[in-house]
Amino acid sequence: MSAGERSTTMLDGVRALVARRRAVLMSLMFGGLLGGGMRLLVGDQYTATAAFIVSTGRTSATSQSLSDLAAQYGLAVPGTEGGSSAQFFSGLVLTREVLERVLRTACSTLSDSTCLLDYFRGRGSSRMEERALRRLRRALDLDVDVRTGILRLGVHLRDPKLAAEGANAFVRQLGVYSSEVRQEQGHAKRVFFDSRLEEVHDRLQTAELALRDFYIKNRQWASSPVLTYKEGLLRRQAALASELYLSLSRAVETARMEEVNTTPTITIVDEAIPPMQADGWSGAWIGIGALLGLIGTITWILFVEWLKLLAADGSDEAKYLLDFRARLWNRVKLRGGH
């Protein structure tokens, strides 16, 4: 196709759009009305946001040495920083355990006491509860400020009071669940170190008895190079067992404190309050509907003009489609007349 033919084709398309300007305007209005209807059907959306900071207690040298000590015996002991980081909580908020707790505990202060599980129509079969979990996950928005360590958690719902209660429930359940996880970790460490402590205590007693018996049987050991070497070996074994026993004793006490530690792992910066205004994008439905209607109408007009050009060149398929369009339009006008 030459440049002149392309220019002619474009001019034909523009003329067709101008000739059908009423249809274009009607499609614009119809699309806007359809978008407005969809907005009324979906309803306004409100976003309630809560902000909190994670308590990032530093790992002490003793705790680090105990973790290394446990790793030597094949036990993976989670560090305190990993379980208190912002990244950890951003992943924890999407877990099934936390989502289920929020669904069952977040209720608005309205007279009907609507809960999130009722709002998402999740009561009944397990399939309905799964759908409620998916909808709650989609309604959740989490933003992590790496520089300040502040996490902002937002919930998008049509009920502003329920949205605020949902955001606050997320923060509460995150704190409760993370404390439970920390206590479970402390219990696992205490059980492990308790069992190792008994074993090392027996080893320490054996080493100390061996050193005592050596001193009793060899009062002049300092004058013998062989006995001096043996005395040093026994003394080092007893010292190593004593150091290991003291480390494990401190580990048991630390694990016991973690097992009963109820200190909150998060600090609330801002509680979520019911928003007074709906989200700004709620009114975009009208614009989106009008735009889609306009694009659809222009595409259809240009498509029809393209078919006419093909029919003028002798295309049977284009003639058939144009004839089918004409018959369909006549049938619609006949029914509209009746």
Kindly list the domain boundaries of the chain, sorted by start residue.
3-43+282-337, 46-200+261-270
CA 8: distance to chain centroid?
55
Residue 201: both structure tokens together = 């205590």
- CA atoms of 221 and 239, how far apart (whole Å): 19
- CA atoms of 328 and 300, how far apart (whole Å): 15
Long-range contacts of 237-244 (CB under 8 A, 24+ apart): 237/207, 237/210, 237/211, 238/204, 238/207, 238/208, 238/210, 238/211, 240/207, 241/200, 241/203, 241/204, 241/207, 241/208, 242/204, 244/200, 244/203, 244/204
- CA atoms of 69 and 76, how far apart (whole Å): 10
User: Which of 3.30.1890, 3.40.30, 3.40.1130, 1.10.20 would CATH assign to domain 46-200+261-270?
Assistant: 3.30.1890
Q: Are 17 and 24 a contacting pair, CB within 8 Å?
A: yes
- Residues whose CB falls within 8 Å of the CB of residue 94, separated by 6 or more in sequence, listed in order: 137, 140
DSSP H helical ranges for 20-82? 21-42, 61-72
Could you tell me which of 129, 136, 203, 162 has the C-alpha nearest to residue 46? 162
Residue 293: both structure tokens together = 């209607």
Q: Are 230 and 215 a contacting pair, CB within 8 Å?
A: no
Predicted confidence pLDDT, tens digits, the chain (338 residues): 444 444 555 666 666 666 666 666 666 666 665 665 555 555 677 888 898 887 655 444 445 555 555 555 555 454 444 445 777 787 888 888 888 888 888 776 554 556 777 777 756 667 788 888 888 888 888 888 878 888 899 998 888 888 888 889 888 888 888 888 878 878 888 888 888 888 888 888 988 898 898 888 888 888 888 888 888 998 898 888 888 888 888 888 887 887 777 666 788 888 888 888 776 555 565 666 667 776 777 776 777 777 777 777 777 777 777 787 777 767 766 665 55
Read off the pTM: 0.56
Cα dihedral angle (79, 81, 83, 87), rounded to 10 degrees? -140
- CA atoms of 198 and 210, how far apart (whole Å): 19
